[in-house]
Structure 1
Amino acid sequence: MEVAQVLRMNGGMGYTSYANNSWVQQKVVSLTKPIREEAISYLYRSTLPRSIAIADLGCSSGPNTLSVVNEVIKSIEKLCQELNHQSPEYQVFLNDLPGNDFNNIFESLDSFRVKLRNETKAGIGPCFFSGVPGSFYGRLFPRKSLHFVHASYSLHWLSQVPEGIENNKGNICVGSTSPPNVVRAYYEQFQRDFSFFLKCRAEEMIEGGRIVLTLLGRARDDQYSNGGFYIWELMAMALNEMVSEGIIKKEQLDSFNIPQYAPFPSEVKLEVEKEGSFSVDRLETSEVNWNANDNNWNPRDYEFSLSEIESSDGGYNLAKCMRAVAEPLLVSHFGEAIIEDVFSRYQKILSNTMSKEKPRFVNVTVSMTRTS
């Protein structure tokens, strides 16, 4: 599986689209807002840029895409007013893999600009937007051209499925029955990818630039713990059911693995320190309940309608969220014919699990400064 060719969220604005089923990601963006505001404040006060370049890596599509950009620009405008400074010009770079639904983003830019003007007291500086297709596990921008880099819920995706995990039978990611060599292969792939990501960004950012990253992670150091991998273990249960009924071939399942690693905070910090181009300012964790109805939703905090997450069936809501993320990967490997069946089974498994326990997504957020 060539990850760069098949890894994308469901596009459009339909029933199973990422745009209408990204409530987990939006909640995470809301929880991590104070960390971004702090980073932006330090960045602006220390550099006082007349033109500021902002990159959102793994931007996907839908309302979440521009919400962080909106927040960052408003934070800078507030600082400009406090310091009696003229508003800077903004260069906004929206990056994702080539299969991303960039058209959805571009079609929303006019309404975004109108909304932004209405929400700022004074006129803001010109805003220039660019789409940047390509993998962030490589160079994307000229040297020393970026002031602020943001990525949320994208860096736990690996550049490739780790090699040498053919014995990960019955699992689709790290699972409770995965052999030690599989766990080690996933971790080593994360180390290579994250280190190279930092190296590329170090070349592209100005000295003193800030970067804020949020990854799906683990609350415990134990790599077998029910952290970011648990959600995939339950999907594997649905797929194994279909194998036992002859709907999917066992060989198909055994050759399918999700290219994702959920790190423990110390694993993130270790790679930052080893690469050496950034200093860690904040390293924190946050949690989001799998059940949307347990998350104290405030509709004013969100850019999209919450009608789709008001079902009392938490499994239904979460299965739709996961379908928006995983469907392209499943289709590329198993074909479209199984999709409705697998997510129907997955929904029942999720609902049953959530009736007995209250699992949570653990998020690791690191805020860093580009050092000399």
Structure 2
Amino acid sequence: MDVSDVLRMNGGNGDYSYSNNSLLQRKVISMTKPIIDDALTNLYSAMNFPKTLIMADLGCSSGPNTLLVVSELVNSIDKIRLKLGNGESPEIQIYLNDLPHNDFNNIFLSVSKFQKNLASQLVANSSSSCYVSGVPGSFYTRLFLRKSLHFVYSSYSLMWLSQVPKMMNTNKGNIYMSTTSPPSVIKAYREQFQSDFLTFLKCRAEEMVSGGRMVLTILGRQSDDPCSKECCYVWDLLAASLNDMIAEGLIEEEKLDSFNIPQYTPSPKEVSNGVEKEGSFVIDCLQVTEVNWDACTDSNHSLSEEDEQGYNMGKCMRAVAEPLVLSHFGESVVEEVFKRYTNNIKISMSKEKAKLVNVTVAMTRKG
């Protein structure tokens, strides 16, 4: 699997698009707003009220969340400017980055309307100008000019790896780290994350100005155990769906054995260790939060509350995982896979209140 070719959220505005099934991710963005505001306040005052600010959203995806982030950043700067008593509004350049197959067209079609809405949201007497550009490419490579970025933001992106870990043993019956995975598989996943995170930090260290700020929110875990239920359960349910289809002869066993999700959900300790090892940044804040699975999509009042929760979370995960499943197993089984997956999610949510764990780290580029 070439991750750069197949890893993307479902594009467009259809029933299973990321655009229409990313309310959970939107809630996480809102939860981290105080940390972002603090980072921007410190940045703006330390830069002595700059006339220009250059920012980047890495792993921006598409849909309403993308421009929500842009709007939040611009609004925050405008409010900070007034609070600190500076009359001149800065010009702001925001780069939106994701892999080349991301639905950038969806974003660009919304920019004009976004610009008009933003102008009406800004405080009185504001003359802030915001310029939006798309930057396709992996954030595990250099993307921007050296020492050009003042602020870097990323939410729910850095748990995605640059490649599927190279494993010495087959991760039989699993598609991710699991309690039944061989130790070598767990080791391969951990080392791939460590390598990728270090590369990410080195690239950003070159691109950011001295004193620049970065806020990253990563789907993670609280436990030291990389196979803990809090981070692996959502993929265990997909694996169970695929295994049932193997038992019924709908999917070949070899297909499952060669399919592994290119993701790693780190603990806060792993994140802080990575930052300290790379050495270019100082951690200002490290926070762990939780969000329930049922914070996923708008209500469907034709369903019972129990069915609705499973249906919504199923659509949320389909928007995320369908391109990976489609590229590996083929179009003929996609509908059946996600029908079973959604049912497994519904059964799980009827028995317990499952949560996702978020690790948010704010840091400053050293001088």
TM bracket (short chain):
over 0.9
Give the match's secondary structure for 2:54: strand
The AA in structure 1 aligned to 2:321 is A
Question: Match for residue 37 of structure 2?
Answer: 37
Give the letter for the 2:60 counterpart.
Answer: C
Mark the CA change 1:187 to 1:51 in structure 2 (over 3 Å): closer, same or farther. Answer: same
Deviation at 1:227, TM superposition (A): 2.1
Residue in structure 2 matched with residue 159 of structure 1 by the alignment: 162
Alpha-carbon distance in structure 1 between the residues aligned to 2:97 and 2:28: 19
* Aligned length in residues: 361
Match of 2:203 among 175, 200, 203: 200
Does the aligned pair in 2 maintain the 1:10–1:327 contact within 8 Å? yes
The equivalent of 1:68 in structure 2 is 69
- Given residue 182 of structure 1, which amino acid in structure 2 is its aligned partner? V
Alpha-carbon shift at residue 126 of structure 1 (Å): 2.1
Conserved 8 A contact 1:152-1:214: yes
Check conservation: 1:21, 1:308, Cα contact below 8 A.
Answer: no
Counterpart in the other structure of 2:348:
353
Give the drift of 1:128.
Answer: 1.5
Query: Shift of residue 228 of structure 1?
Result: 1.9
Question: What secondary structure is seen at the aligned counterpart in 2 of 1:108?
Answer: helix
Matching residue's letter, 1:346: Y
Residue 132 of structure 2 is aligned with which of 126, 129, 133?
129
Q: Do the aligned residues in 2 keep the contact of 1:50 with 1:88 (CA within 8 Å)?
A: yes
- Which residue of the partner structure matches residue 98 of structure 1? 100
Range that drifts further, 170-179 or 306-315: 306-315
Query: Given residue 52 of structure 1, which amino acid in structure 2 is its aligned partner?
Result: L
Instruction: Tell me the equivalent position of 2:113.
Output: 111
Partner residue, 1:342: 337
Aligned match of 1:322: 317
Structure 2, unaligned runs of 5 or more: none
Aligned residue for 1:302? Answer: none
Deviations 1:222-253 (A, max 9, x none): 12211222111110000000000000000000
The answer (yes or no) to whether the contact 2:74–2:130 under 8 Å persists in 1 is: no
Q: CA deviation at 1:151?
A: 0.4
| Shift in CA distance, 165/26, structure 1 to aligned 2, threshold 3 Å | farther
Consecutive unaligned residues of structure 1, counting only runs of 5 or more, are: 294-304
In the aligned structure 2, how far is the partner of 1:212 from the partner of 1:171?
Answer: 32
Using structure 1 for the length normalisation, give the TM-score: 0.95
Provide Cα deviations, 1:44-74, integer angstroms capped at 9, x if missing partner. 0101221000100000000000111111111
User: Does residue 243 of the first structure (1) align with residue 246 of the second (2)?
Assistant: yes
Q: Which moved more, 1:21-30 or 1:136-145?
A: 21-30
Contact conserved, 2:93 with 2:130, CA < 8 A, in 1? yes
The one-letter code of the counterpart of 1:349 is N
**In structure 2, how many angstroms separate the alpha carbons of the residues matched to 1:172 and 1:87?**
50
Hey, what does 1:300 align to over in structure 2? none
